[in-house]
Amino acid sequence: MNDVIKITFLFISLILVQVIVLNNVLFWDYINPQLYILFVIIYPFRKDRGIFLFLSFLLGLFLDFFFNSGGTNAAATLFIAYIRLPLLKSLMRKSEIDFPVFNINKLQFLKLLSFISILTFAHHFVLFSLEYFKLNAILTIFSRTILTSIFTIILLIFSLLFMNKSK
């Protein structure tokens, strides 16, 4: 399948799954997994970075439209899209990275888990910081970030395993 078709299908399907299914899933009325950041994680590294940043912003903006959240998802998604490449470069040695043929599915499990965990925690921290935007809510921000990130990381790992099995 063509890369543009794959990216378009992933973009639309992640929005639909997040809005229709995961938005209605609340663990303990507090934790809502955010699967849509899978788009940022598996978007090909060899593609134009400007288009990637625009698509990440657009993904967050669509979710803000559905959640009526005032741009918090767009800001958080754009932030992790921006730090994705420097983060990967810091996690990997230069000799291990050949970006034209690099594939996220070929990473060792611990490096993949580190990459996903850092991006997820960063996303959720920015998201909840902008959502609450008060210094006296710092404990709520940290607790929601940690608990939601744990559930999101588990969901992301299972999604990546499922995507690899289907190939």
What pLDDT is recorded for position 167? Answer: 55
Q: Is residue 89 part of a domain?
A: no
Count of structural domains within the chain: 1
Q: Which phi and psi (to 5°) does residue 145 adopt? A: -60, -50
Q: Is 80 exposed, middle or buried (0-12, 13-18, 19+ CB in 10 A)?
A: buried
pTM, rounded to two decimals:
0.87
Is 40 contained in some domain? yes
pLDDT of residue 37: 92
Helix (H) or strand (E) holding 106: none
Is residue 147 in some structural domain? yes
Q: What is the pLDDT of the chain when averaged over all its residues?
A: 84
Let me know if residue 91 belongs to a domain. no
Asked if residue 57 is part of any domain, the answer here is yes
Q: Chain centroid to CA 47: how far? A: 17
Could you give the CA distance from residue 62 to residue 143 in angstroms, rounded to a whole number?
26
Assess if residue 90 is contained within a domain: no
pLDDT in tens, 141-152: 898 899 899 999
Domain membership flag for residue 158: yes
Give pLDDT < 50 ranges for the chain.
none
Predicted local distance difference test score (pLDDT) of residue 101? 61
**Residue 46's domain spans which residues?**
3-83+99-165
Tokens for 70?
Answer: 């005032």
Per-residue pLDDT at 53: 93
- Tokens representing residue 3 in the block: 């890369």
Q: Is residue 160 part of a domain?
A: yes
